[in-house]
Amino acid sequence: MKRLKPYRFPLLLLASVVTGSVAGWFLGPQSAVLKPLGDIFLNLLFTVVVPLVFVTISSSIANMGTLKRLGRIMGTLLVVFTLTGIIASVVMLFSVQWFNPGEGVSVSLGEEKSPEEPLTLSEQIVQAVTAPDFKDLLSKENMLALILFAMLFGTAVSMSGESGKTVARGLAALSDVLVKLIGVIMWFAPVGLASYFASLVGEFGPSLVGSYLKAVVIYYPVAILYFLVFFSLYAWVAAGRTGFRKFWANIFPAAVTSLATGSSVASIPVNLEVSRKIGVPPDIREMVIPMGATIHMDGSCLSAILKISFLFGLFQMPFHDMEDFLTAILVAILSGMVMSGVPGGGFTGELLIVTLYGFPPEALPILAVLGTVVDPVATMVNSTGDTVAGMLVARFVEGKEWIRKKWENALA
């Protein structure tokens, strides 16, 4: 029972979804009477997302502190985190092109908007990353602009000396309050999700459940293969045959811990010990592992691509163009790196997907359930990926012979 404790809330959410789906099956169109309860839950989440994103991102940057030798470590780990996230995204992109779990189910987008004159590429870029007025940032419609502004604001705070430290402490405190607020809102999640899925199944039928099963069939094998094949490759790049052997000789305690706890953060102590046994230098592992627990999420990048493809299929939208692929990779990196450090049970990354693509708010609970279903393996890939990322950072900071030098120094 203790091993199930970290999964009690996800299991409660799944139970509420099952209960709501069964109710929708029997009630049929009459289940629409429950939809307002689901709408209340969605509105609460969308209300908190703007202050949550701004405060948590700016706070994390503002409180990062100054670095000397670690400046090089920081730059290297950000490159490693980004590249592995891109690779994970591309792997899932290829997979969903073969088998899209959302195909075969038709969900209405709601009221159709009147066509507008298309913007030029430069206008699209300006509109995506900036807002014409501060008040326009306070909208989920301008999420990329909000993220960029939050990063710039956090950087300015960190550069402002003693005055900046005061602001940074205030941001950290406000971030804690918003985390608690998310927790309070999530108390209503079982009722909100049950009500929403009752109305959803009542309207669209059981075919939606089959799409979730197809998503699981795709995600679990792809994520496990990524763990086995690509982590082996990363370990080999980091330290050759020795790195490969040491990674697989030591990584399983971290993998089991992340599966048992359902948390990358809870796995930090084990990952630090695993990294020590592998030979990652102390200053590298003590930066990469804690930061990786919040902003290095290969498993989340895999699931983000799956979720995007899932929604495109549900809403009968084509997902084959290179522009769609590049946008999906960008969104996966944002939700798997930037947004995964934002608390809220994964809802914030899903909010990002829904808002950036312009899906209706009703798409959020659909993604939330999919995220819950794939979460155990995603967390395992996220957590163990921090250890192999530490090995890669050591390779590029210390040189290609880093692991041999480490053990020579230990024997000296």
Distance between CA atoms of residues 218 and 106, nearest Å: 20
Distance between CA atoms of residues 172 and 180, nearest Å: 13
Instruction: Residue 147: name the closest of 133, 157, 156, 137 by CA.
Output: 137
Instruction: Residue 386: name the closest of 260, 254, 257, 279 by CA.
Output: 254
Distance between CA atoms of residues 71 and 67, nearest Å: 5
Domain that holds residue 388: 5-107+121-404
- 174 Cβ contact list (under 8 Å, min separation 6): 55, 59
Distance between CA atoms of residues 306 and 219, nearest Å: 7
Distance between CA atoms of residues 214 and 233, nearest Å: 28
Q: Is residue 112 situated within a structural domain?
A: no
Q: Is residue 55 situated within a structural domain?
A: yes
- 355 Cβ contact list (under 8 Å, min separation 6): 49, 140, 141, 143
We report the CATH number of the domain holding residue 297 as 1.10.3860
Element (H, E) at 59: helix 35-62
Which pLDDT belongs to residue 137? 82
Q: Is residue 412 situated within a structural domain?
A: no
Which pLDDT belongs to residue 244? 92
Which pLDDT belongs to residue 90? 93
Distance between CA atoms of residues 272 and 321, nearest Å: 41
Distance between CA atoms of residues 374 and 344, nearest Å: 16
How many domains is the chain partitioned into structurally?
1
| Alpha carbon of residue 17 to chain centroid | 22
What does the pLDDT profile of the chain (412 residues) look like in tens digits?
Answer: 555 555 576 677 778 878 888 888 888 888 888 888 888 887 887 787 788 778 877 886 777 655 456 567 778 888 999 999 999 999 998 888 877 665 655 555 444 444 345 455 466 567 767 888 888 888 766 766 887 888 789 888 888 888 888 998 999 899 888 878 877 887 888 888 788 778 877 766 655 666 677 788 888 999 999 999 999 999 999 988 888 999 998 888 888 778 756 667 667 778 888 898 898 888 788 778 877 877 788 988 898 898 888 888 877 777 777 877 888 888 888 776 655 444 444 556 677 777 777 787 778 777 877 877 787 788 889 889 999 999 999 998 888 777 776 655 543 4
Q: Give Dmax over CA atoms of the chain in angstroms.
A: 76
Q: Is residue 88 situated within a structural domain?
A: yes
Q: Is residue 191 situated within a structural domain?
A: yes
Q: Is residue 140 situated within a structural domain?
A: yes
Q: Is residue 114 situated within a structural domain?
A: no
Q: Is residue 188 situated within a structural domain?
A: yes
- Which ranges constitute the DSSP H helices of 187-321? 189-204, 207-225, 231-250, 252-261, 268-278, 282-295, 298-314
